[in-house]
Structures are given as C-alpha cells and as structure tokens.
Structure 1
Amino acid sequence: MLFNGYGLAQERPVWENDFRERFSKVVDDIEKRHHITIQYDSAKLAQLWVAFAQWQYRTTPAQTLTNVLAPLPLTYRQLDDSTYRITSYEYFRKHPEEGAQELARLMASYRTLSQWKSRSGDLSSCIRETLGLQRIHRTPVTAAVKNSKRQYDGYTVENIAIETLPGFYLAGSLYVPTGHSGKLPAMLCPNGHFVSGRYRPDHQLRCAMLARMGVIAVSYDLVGYGESILQLEESDHRRSLTATIQTINNLRMLDFIYGLAAVDTSRIGITGASGGGSQSILVTALDDRIKLSVPVVMVSSYFSGGCPCETGAGHHFCGGGTNNVEIAAMAAPRPQLLISDGNDWTADFPAIDLPYLKQVYSLYNQEDLIQNVHLPNDKHDYGPAKRQAMYAFVAEHFSLETPPFKDPSGHFSEEGCVVEEEAKLYTFEMDSQKLPANALHGFAQLQEALR
C-alpha cells in the first residue's frame, strides 16, 4: 500500500513494511497509554493510515500528539487536563506552552527599559515597512460624506465616509455627545469578524453609551463588510493585502478624529473585539496618538488571528518573530485593559500573557496601567460584562463623570441607548450609484490606488 499526503492507503508492494496502523487504532492506543480522552471527526479521519506511529510516541500526550499528527497534517487542542481535540492544522495557532516559551525568550532579550525601547522601535519600523505604510503620511482628513444626523437622549448619530485611499471610501457612524462643554475625548471602535458587522446591537450599544458618557465614538466597516461591498467583493476580505488596507483605514480614521475641533487630542482611545482587537493593538503599537486601548477577546501569545487580514502581511515575522502579546506591549506605558474569556484562545491570558505584559510595564514603573478583566464563563463576543469593564476603564482614565449613567446597583445603564435598524446606519444607502464620482470598483483598482 502507498500513502497520499494525508496518510490515506493506496496499493503498494506487500513486502514493504512501515508499521502502518489505522488512525482510529492509533488514537485508541494513545488514549490508553496516556490515560486521556481524544475527540476527533471519526467520519473524516478514522480511515486514515499512520506510518510508524509507535515510534513517534513520547512521554507526554502533547509530545506524542505533535509527532503523530504533524505529517498528516493535523494538530490538537487541549480542552482540559485529560481531554484533547484533533483538528486541522492552522498556521496561525500554536500550543499554549509554545506561547509561554516564546514570551520567556522575548523577555530575556530585554531586561532594561532602553533595551525594550530599542526592540519596540525596531518592531515598529519593520511592521510599517512590511505593511507598506511608509508611503502613507499623516495629513488632515475631512469627511467626504456626512448625512442623516439623528438626535437621541444625550447624543447624535451621523453617517459618514472618509477617503482613505484615492477613490476608496470607508463608511462609518459618528456618535457625538450633546450637552457637554469643552473638548471631548474620543474612541475609535473598529469592527471584528462578527455577523452583521458594525450594525449588530452590541456594537451600536457601546458606541451610543460612550457618547452618552461624553466620548465621541466612531465605528466603521471592515474591508469586504458593510458598505465596502459597494466597491469590493466580500471575498476580498481574506486577501493578504487587506491587512495593509485595513491598517490604513484605521490610521486614516484616526487622522479624521484627531482633526475634529471638538476632540481633546490628549484623550483618544481605541477598542474592538476579535478582529477589532487585532486592529486595536496594531494601531496602538504604531501610533502614539492613541492614549488608551481596550482590546477584547483577542490577545494571545499562541494565536495570531485566523484571517489573512490579521496575519497575511507577515508582520509577525518582524524582529526574528513576534506575537500579539508583544505587539500589545508596544502600548506601554499608556493605559491598556485587555479583556479575556474562558471559551476561546484568551482562556490562558491571565496565566501566560498577563505576567509578561506586567513585566514590560514595570520597566516604566507603570505596572498599574496594564489591567486584565478575565470572564471565565463568557464567550467570544463584546457582551454586557465586557462593555461594563470597558466603560469603567475609559471613565477612570479619561476623567469622566459617571454617576448620571449608573443604575442603583452601580452598573452603567445602557437604557438610554438606541439600537437602530441597519439601514439607518448606511452612508450610501447600499447603492453604488450614490458613491462619489471618483469611487474605484474592484480589488485591482484598489491595488492600483495603493501603489
């Protein structure tokens, strides 16, 4: 029998012997040897054949599974002390112990503040070059389109679009407090990989609540999401170049917010969940105009992001290799709250990643400015408990008066926040005919605009 690339049996001379065993038998054997339970898709994998399996067994389940699965190509996740799940290999995911080892290696390379600043500066330069940002310069940005301002209790919502590259328009919604005097803080709210994008209720609620608290908030589409499909295809989101375009979109939206007369430029922050968290740490690392950041359910030393828009440019290879925790550390010593949960890749954040970040912040003697709220029973979202933690953090560091916005139990009340119908948030009414005259169409034209 012969084998294809996935270990499937084919005809071969009977005199050849490579200690072939069916995958299901190998799994049973590993379970007995290590006293563990292994979950896998038996319909797809049970009929695989594994060569020399027993020669690849080691003293721990992790070592054994790594050796046996690597040629297939498969990998595993450890669900608890004695349960493992076999999955397809993912280039963007490592094992938790690998993440811990990488953080230890990184920390050993910079024991002083000057060493860390040198490392951080090198990473920033490399990331900019890798993403192609050296061609993008800070220039004032004004909204190319503004329309449909709505008035609610304590805030307004207005649909906007800014031109981030020649002919490419980033649509969003601007939430502005009413009844406040003086310059106001601002928060960028990039969207993550969630159904309905920035139109979903929890995204609207957090922007509206921030506005009621006295913070100008702006939400905007991912590439290939929302109104960007008027210029691109949804599938364009998973192109490697999208990592560059999305970063440019964030930086240009920061230019827009920074230029608003009502904004206090010493109090600009950013928060997003999942893919929005990836954008949050990257923009904060690259631009010191961001003074506060709240990445949610994203930052992990062993998971870089499952979309090419997060990992496709290769900036994680900068400096001999980096990860999202080190990129998050580049925010130091600015205030940063990282929110994690028990049901995704941030489950190990308090044990593995937070100590490293504390060490980096301690180089500035600002260890108290890096915080973590871990919600072990929460899932991968920007749910109510996560929003509560973010509101409190923003209020503390932006010096906001919070009593008017809290209920008798001391929680921030979102009761006055309005969740609008999706169509109300459209800048171009989902009609390509309403785009500006110079609007480009298709990814090829977007590539040319970037050149």
Structure 2
Amino acid sequence: MFRTFFIVTILSVLFMQSRAQSSDDQYRKPLKEVLGLLEQHYGVTIKYQEEQVAGKYLNYARWRFRPDVDETLKNVLAPLDLKVNKEGEKKYKLKEYEYYRWEVKDGWDYLDQLAAQYHDRASWEKRKAAIRPDLFTALKLSPLPASPGSKAILSKKREFTGYTVQNFALEILPGVYVNGSIYRPLKPKKSSALVLSPDGHWADHRYRKDAQVRCAMLAKLGAVAVSYDLFAWGESLLQFKADDHRRSLSITVQTLGAIRILDYMLAGQGIDSQRVAICGGSGGGSHTVLMTALDDRITLSIPVVSLSSYFYGGCPCESGLPIHASAGGTNNVELAAMAAPRPQLVISDGKDWTAHMPEHDFGYLQTIYGYYGKAADVANVHLPDEGHDFGYSKRKPVYDFVARYFQLNSEALKNQNGEYDESTVTIENKETLYSFGAQGEKLPSNAVHGYEELEKLFKSK
C-alpha cells in the first residue's frame, strides 16, 4: 500500500514538473537542491562540503527516487561519481565514489569466477602465462626500457648496534632517480638474504620510526633490507610534484624502480639469489604483490594490511594503469596467487578492506598453493581487533616468517618473554636518510624535472 502511494505521489510531482519545465532541459537540478529534497523527503541528514557539490547538476533527479532511501542515494549519486557513507541512524556523509572498492560479496564472486578458469597446476600455469605479459604491457614496460647504466650514488655508511645504514640513488631512466637506504648486518655473511622494503602512504613514508625499526631489525636478523621512496614522495619530490604521485605513470616508475634496485642488489652486493624477499604495507603491500607476480627472482613475499579481492588500491600507484584488465580481467588476490609456490605471508586486520581475508580469499590462496603441494607455505596472520598500520603486532610475524624461511637466527633478538627487542634501533632524522643532501644540493645535473618530461621518456620508446 505504501509503495503504491509513494509511486503515485512521485508521478504526481513529475507531472507537475513536466508542465512547468520543457523536456529540453532534462529537468536538470543542482545537486545541492537535490540533496535538500532527499533530506526533506526521507527525514535524513547528508553532510557535505560546498566544494563537493559546487557546479554539479543531475538530470531527471526526481525519476531516480525510490521508496528505499539507500537505493535512492545510489541512483542519485552514482552518475556524479559520488556516494555516501552511513554514519548513524538517518545520518550520511557525502564522499567521492570509490571505484576501487567493491562490496565484499562482489569481490568474492569475481574471485570465484576467475578461479573457475583453472583446476590444477597445469591450467593455473597457463593462466599465469597469460597474465604476466599483459601486466608488463599495461605498465608500459614491454619491453623494459634500457638501463642508463650509471653507477649508484652512495653515501658513507653509518654504524649502529648490530647494523649499518647507507643511502643510495639509482638512475632508472635518463635523469630519473629512485632513492632509499640499505640496512646491512654489522658483520654480514659472504652471502646474505635480501628484503626489499617498500612502504605505503603513511605520513613520512620510509622515514617513519616503524619503517626504520623494521629495516634495522631485519638487518640485525642477518638480512640486507632496502627501503626506498614511492614515486613523487621523499627525495623524488626534488624532481616531481606531490600531485604527480596520483598520476598514472606513478605505478610504472615505482615498478621500474624496484626492478632496478633488484638488478643492483643482485649484482655483486653479496646477496644470496635464493633468498630474496619483498615486504610492504598498505600501498607498499599492493606493490609487493605486483612485483612478486612480475619477477621470479623474488622468492618470498609479505603483503601487509593490503590484500583483498574487493579492493583494487585507492591510488594510481596501485591501479592507475589497467593492470587489472590483464588476461581478460584479474584482481589483487589472483595476482598474489602468482607467487605460488614461493612462500607468502598475508597479514590482515579487522578494520580495513582486509577484514574478511580468512573467510574466503585465504582459502583461494591455499588452493593455488595446493596445486604445487605447498599449501603450508602460504600463511595468514589475521588481527581482528587491530587496524591499518605497521605496528609491532605486524612486524613480529614478518621477522618470524623471514627468519624461518631464510634460516636466520631470531632468538638473539628476543627478550626473556620471547618478544623482539627493538629498543636498540637508532631512529635517524629524515635529512640523514637523504641521498642528495638535506637541501637537495647533490641532485645530479641531468635530473629530469616535471611529469611532462617524464611522459616524454615513455613517448619516445
């Protein structure tokens, strides 16, 4: 009865509007006015900033109304790439539409659809062989651009309790540099394990305390840890603007940077090529998954608070180019499965898009690893009461996993309670971790400046 009354009411309003307006203007209304109508009609509150609604109009707004307010909000906002988050009873907040975040069930259903394409090792290997070249093509890295061949720029080593730190800069394209720091054991063995350590979009990136602690502890374990900047973050800002990080080539430059770092570290740096890991959190976790899918030289991977079948990465450095269209379509969990049978640890939590990892996605990964008889070599540490960070509860399983598979002695780093003692790590200020000087005064004279110049390097291929 209510539904019939509602529809009659709406049609009456539409009829009155049709008499007052010509069909030529498609009954166009400002979004701000439409939101006011929604609040009045459904008795709800919708919070928004003026800049979110300024200059936005909606055609046939009243035709989009339905008895259910949530359905109506989707109908009204989707054409404008907007959505709402529910913040309480009849309270909503306007947000940009998150193209990269699906409903949980949608992500699971799509992963099941992908999985239906293979059923054993042979069919899965065929699927992998289709995905990988498409990834390189999507990244504009097929073929890989020639390496400039210049020598690495290195700072003096700084010695601390059980480890050293040395800053580096590598020229990955003519005039384009990736910067970072290499953490080594104080007394490295002739052949050491390697851990590439990208980070996510947390403030201060690799200069943060927890990022420095993680790399230093890995070095104290006996591995060489390499921490490096995201594109247009850190020292990359000497060449590019911060806004450039949210442009499509960011994913390309970050991937190429990691490949070049791996090239460098495996060429005469005392690294055991059979013990090469990558471990990153958040956006660095997406980078971890992509790099492991692309490069078989990586023998162990640890994506932290990042992996999900219903989340594609909210930054262009994760999804700014059509990598997820590879081989007819893929997602991050299928890309993570490309690590098999190489050991992989997935760390998830209860307060972001990894909250449901144990319920579906991890079982899929176990199935893929099972094709190789290696189901025990993929693990999930799920922390349901924790959130999106790289705190000690996430670092501890990283240390344990690396120590286990790379045969490193972790006991010497633990206290009497069996916890890792991170108190002997020295936290350096960010300027000390720069390769090009505190003010960028050592930036090479051939350095490229600006995104437009970067684009030219790819257009000339």
User: For 1:143 and 1:296, how far apart are their aligned partners in 2?
Assistant: 32
In 1: Cα distance, 2:84 partner to 2:418 partner: 43
1:51 aligns to what?
62
Flag the 1:40–1:84 CA change in 2: closer, same or farther, 3 A. closer
Amino acid at match of 1:191: D
Tell me the distance in 2 between the aligned counterparts of 1:119 and 1:300: 20
- 2: CA distance, partners of 1:71 / 1:112: 42
Contact 1:56–1:64, Cα closer than 8 Å, also in 2:
yes
* Displacement of 1:442: 2.0
Aligned to 2:375: 367
TM-score (norm 1): 0.86
Question: Which residue of the partner structure matches residue 299 of structure 1?
Answer: 307
**Of 77, 93, 118, which residue of structure 1 is paired with 2:126?**
118
1:307-326, aligned counterparts within 5 Å? 307-326=315-334
Contact 1:140-1:256 within 8 A present in 2 as well:
no
CA distance in 2, matches of 1:56, 1:379: 36
Q: Give the equivalent residue in structure 1 for 2:3.
A: none
Contact 1:143 1:161 in 2 (8 A): no
Q: Kindly tell me: are residues 359 and 241 of structure 1, through their superposed partners in 2, closer, same or farther at Cα, counting changes over 3 Å?
A: same
Matched, 1:238 2:246: yes
Cα 1:65/1:399, change in 2 over 3 Å: farther
Distance 1:65 1:95, change over 3 A: farther
Q: Partner of 1:187 in structure 2?
A: 195
Task: From the superposition, tell whether residues 231 and 85 of structure 1 become closer, same or farther in structure 2 (CA, over 3 Å).
Answer: closer
Asked whether the 8 Å contact 1:39–1:86 carries over to 2, the reply is no
Per the alignment, residue 362 of structure 2 pairs with 354
Aligned-partner residue type, residue 198 of structure 2: P
TM-fit CA distance, 1:43: 7.0
Alignment identity in percent?
41
The alpha-carbon distance between structure 1 residues 232 and 55, as it changes in their structure 2 partners (threshold 3 A), is: closer
Q: Give me the CA root mean square deviation.
A: 3.1
* In structure 1, C-alpha distance between the alignment counterparts of 2:91 and 2:450, rounded to whole Å: 46
Give the CA deviation at 1:163. Answer: 1.0
CA contact (8 A) 1:342 1:375 kept: yes
Higher mean alpha-carbon deviation, 403-412 vs 433-442, is at: 433-442
Q: Is the 8 A contact 1:141 1:259 kept in 2?
A: no
Structure-1 residue corresponding to 2:278 = 270
1:360-389 CA distance string (max 9 Å, x none): 111112111111111122221111100011
Which letter does structure 1 place at the counterpart of 2:231?
Answer: V
Aligned to 2:214: 206
Determine the C-alpha separation between the residues in 2 that align with 1:164 and 1:424.
Answer: 23
1:444 to partner: Cα distance: 2.6
Q: Distance in 1 between matches of 2:53 and 2:174?
A: 53
| 1:359 partner amino acid | T
| Alignment correspondent of 2:104 | 96
Using the alignment, how far apart are the partners of 2:87 and 2:224 within structure 1? 41
CA deviations over 1:65-114 (Å, ceiling 9, x no partner): 6556534543356899x998764312212111110110110111111211
Deviation at 1:440, TM superposition (A): 2.1
**Structure 1 residue 243: Cα displacement:** 1.3
* Structure 2, unaligned runs of 5 or more: 1-16
d(CA) in 2 for partners of 1:83 and 1:411?
A: 44
SS in 1 for 2:366: helix
8 Å CA contact 2:147–2:173 kept in 1: the answer is no
In 1, Cα distance between the equivalents of 2:304 and 2:45?
29
1:276 positional shift: 0.7
Larger mean CA deviation between 287-296 and 301-310 belongs to: 301-310
Query: Is 2:86–2:92's contact at 8 Å kept on the other side of the alignment?
Result: yes
Are the counterparts in 2 of residues 316 and 322 from structure 1 also a CA contact under 8 Å?
yes
Q: Would you say 1:330 and 2:338 are equivalent positions?
A: yes
User: How far apart in 1 are the matches of 2:393 and 2:259?
Assistant: 29
What's the secondary structure of 1:135's corresponding residue?
A: coil
The answer to whether the 8 Å contact 1:167/1:449 transfers is: no
Query: Which of 229, 241, 252 in structure 1 is aligned with 2:237?
Result: 229
Closer, same or farther: CA 119–376 of 1 in aligned 2, 3 Å: same
> 1:33-89, CA deviations, whole angstroms, 9 ceiling, x for partnerless residues?
xxxxx98526779999952455475xxx98776556534543356899x99876431
Is 1:56–1:68's contact at 8 Å kept on the other side of the alignment? no
Q: How many residues align?
A: 431
Relative to structure 2, which stretch is displaced further, 179-188 or 41-50? 41-50
Larger radius of gyration: 2
CA distance in 2, matches of 1:139, 1:51: 58
Q: Could you list the per-position Cα deviations for residues 147-203 of structure 1 after superposition, in whole angstroms to 9, with x for gaps in the alignment? A: 131101111001111111111111110111022433110100112111112111111
- 1:118–1:103: structure 2 CA closer, same or farther, 3 Å change rule? same
CA 1:280 to 1:175, structure 2 compared with 1: closer, same or farther past 3 Å? Answer: same
Q: CA 1:84 to 1:404, structure 2 compared with 1: closer, same or farther past 3 Å?
A: farther
TM-score by length of 2: 0.85
Runs of 5+ consecutive residues of structure 1 not aligned to the other structure: 1-10, 32-37
Could you tell me how far apart the structure 2 residues matched to 1:96 and 1:84 are? 20
Label 1:73 to 1:225 Cα distance change in 2 as closer, same or farther (>3 A).
closer
